Homo-oligomer: A and B are copies of this chain.
Amino acid sequence: MRQDQDIGMIHPTALVDPGAEIGSGVTIGPYTIIHGKVQIGAGSVIGAYCELGHPAHDPAQGGLLSLGSNSHIRSHSVFYEGSVFGDGLMTGHRVTVREQTRAGRNLQLGTLADIQGDCIFGDFVRLHSNVHVSKLARIGDYVWLFPSVVLTNDPHPPSDLHVGVRVEDYAAIAAKSVILPGVTVGAGALVGAHSTVCRDVAPDSVVVGSPARYVCETREIRLRDGSGAPAYPWRRHFHRGYLPEDVARWLAEFS
């Protein structure tokens, strides 16, 4: 069901199920497949070779795949049915998103992101390349997961017991770190690169290593730009891609 006249923006080689709800001004790239249980918000762009609304492995996990307005899904990505995303979802290439993923506004999923489903993302979460999110993960708002981070969920693999990871607001997990099942990374915390996090991380603290150990408070880290200003909370100085009202609030918080 096409809601406007921009029919030319759907490439003639795209295979779009008539049951899909395609919003106004949506662009769909060559050779992309849109299944029936899909709703794409106005102004979205879907790249080439994507498959949206892939049938669920277990029909009980199925249902509508809903993408908000102004989403941008890059090429070779696969989204299963049965997930809901807020406006402004942006992905890299070759992203996989399984059933029952729930996300707020402005989620960014880097190239090769592998979202296993049954998980929740808040608003303005950023995943860099090749991040693996296991089922039952709970990710707050404004969280950062850097390249090749893995969130696990099975305390004694393989088993039928799954315990998700929790990452609270503004936390940042640096490249190639792995978070063990059931761990909570507290609000504003920083996990250093290539760490193995086996225990909860206190808010606004820095941990690093395998197993990760407490190093200092985040406020003790200075920007290496010569200013000597604190590097954390990062919202003091890093504002790219956020809403003006969020940035104004953050600036007021630290003035």
Residues of chain A touching chain B, judged by Cβ–Cβ distance below 8 Å, are 13, 15, 30-31, 33, 47-49, 51, 54, 75-76, 78, 92-94, 96, 111-112, 114, 116, 126, 129-130, 132, 134, 144, 146-148, 150, 152, 154-161, 163, 172, 174-176, 178, 180, 193-194, 196, 209-210, 221, 223-225, 231-232, 234, 237-238, 240
Contacts and interface: CB of A to CB of B under 8 A. Distances in A.
A48 B48 contact: no
A160 B238 contact: yes
Contacts of A150: 147-148, 175-176
Given A51-B48, A176-B178, A232-B156, A93 B93 contact: no
Contact of A156 (B47, B76, B223): B223
A182 to B, nearest CB: 8
Contact of A114 (B49, B116, B129): B129
A178 B177 CA distance: 10
A93 B30 CA distance: 19
Chain A interface main SS type: loop
Contacts of A94: 76, 94, 96
B129 A157 contact: no
Nearest 4 interchain pairs by C-beta: A156-B231, A194-B196, A178-B194, A176-B178
Given A49-B49, A176-B178, A240-B160, A196 B193 contact: yes
10 contacts: A30-B33, A31-B49, A48-B51, A114-B147, A130-B130, A144-B158, A148-B150, A150-B175, A152-B193, A156-B231
Contacts of A232: 156
B176 A193 contact: no
Contacts of A158: 126, 144, 172, 234, 238
For A114, A174, A180, A221, which residue has the most chain B Cβ atoms within 10 angstroms? A114
